[in-house]
Amino acid sequence: MKAATLKALRLSIKKWERIVEGTGYDAGTDNCALCQRFTTEYCTTESGKETCPVAIKAKRVGCVGTPYLKFAALATNYANNLGAGIRIAESGQAKKAAKVELAFLKSLLPDENES
C-alpha cells in the first residue's frame, strides 16, 4: 500500500473512532480521506494507477457491499450550516453499525510485518 493511501486509511479510521466515541460525524465523501484520495467514479486515483482499498476488499465501488451503507441507513441525519447532510450515531443500532465500519476499515491495514 502506498504511503499516501495508508495515511488516508489511517485518517478515515480516526474519523470512525470519533464517530464511535460520539465526538465525530459522517459527511460522506466530504470528510472521508479515502474518498478524497480516490476521486474517480471507479474509486481510483486520477491517474488510475491505484484503487481504494475499500473497493478492492468489497470488489465494488462506492462503498457498496461494506458496513458503511448500514450505518448510513441507521444514523441520524442532520443538515449542517452549509446545507450538506451529516450523519451521527445516536441510536444504539447506529453506534453498533459505526463500530462494524471501524472494524472493517482497520481490517484493511497492512500487516506490520509487510514492507
Q: Are 65 and 58 in contact (CB under 8 A)?
A: yes
Structural domain count, the chain: 1
In a domain, 77, yes or no: yes
Query: What local confidence, expressed as pLDDT, does residue 96 receive?
Result: 97
Global confidence as pTM: 0.88
pLDDT band at 113 (very low <50, low <70, confident <90, very high): low
The residue type of 16 is: W
Coil, strand or helix: which one is 79?
Answer: strand
Full residue range of the structural domain in which residue 94 is found: 3-37+63-107
Coil, strand or helix: which one is 91?
Answer: coil
Q: Are 19 and 89 in contact (CB under 8 A)?
A: yes
Q: What pLDDT, in 10s, does the model give residues 23-61?
A: 999 998 889 999 999 988 888 888 878 999 999 999 988
* Number of Cβ atoms within 10 Å of the Cβ of 87: 20
In a domain, 48, yes or no: no
